[in-house]
Amino acid sequence: MRLFRTGLIAVPLVLVAGTVGAFMIFGLTANRDHIGSPNAAETFVAGDVAGGRLLVAVEDGQAYAFDITVWFESNDGSNDATLIPPSVSMTMVGHDMGRTPVQMFRRSDGTWRGTGSFPMGGRWRFQIALDGEIVRLDHTAR
């Protein structure tokens, strides 16, 4: 009878300890900030265009959101502000979902920035056109 009582107490304690241990080891908490997770990603590309390079960075946000930043670096190394707005669109690689435009806004530092969200996870291709030149960037949304 004593062994049975010990078992009744020990089994739930072992289950609770195992559950708490799993939460601690595998990080199964309610605080799931996507940006702070190891799945958050940033993709960067530089493409040669007339007079310099077009630099593009895409960074994941929360819940399939993203930020895209575009800026121009002239051949002499300076980050020249451009008044020409880049035309940015995105499409999912391998799926016929069409192109989705991304609205870009000029910032005071001369960069152009846009935000949006991916309809689903997977590989996405951004196409950035500036003054007739095209730069492409592939980014995997997680």
Residues 9 and 77 in one domain: no
State whether 16 and 53 are in the same domain: no
pLDDT (tens, 9 = 90+) of the chain, 142 residues, equals 776 667 667 666 666 565 655 555 544 443 333 333 444 578 999 888 888 889 999 999 888 899 999 998 888 877 666 788 999 999 999 998 899 999 999 998 889 999 999 999 999 999 999 888 899 999 998 7
Enter the tokens of residue 4.
């049975």
Q: Is 59 contained in some domain? A: yes
43 CB contacts (<8 Å, ≥6 apart)? 57, 58, 59, 137, 138, 139, 140
Residues 48 and 92 in one domain: yes
Range of the domain at 110: 42-141
Burial of 34 (0-12, 13-18, 19+ CB in 10 A): middle
- Does residue 10 fall inside a structural domain? yes
**Residue 36, domain member (yes or no):** no
Please check whether residues 130 and 111 belong to one and the same domain.
yes
DSSP-based helix, strand, coil % in the chain, nearest 5: 20, 45, 40
Q: Are residues 63 and 12 in the same domain?
A: no
> Residue 108 belongs to a domain with what CATH number?
2.60.40.1930
Same domain, 4 and 47: no
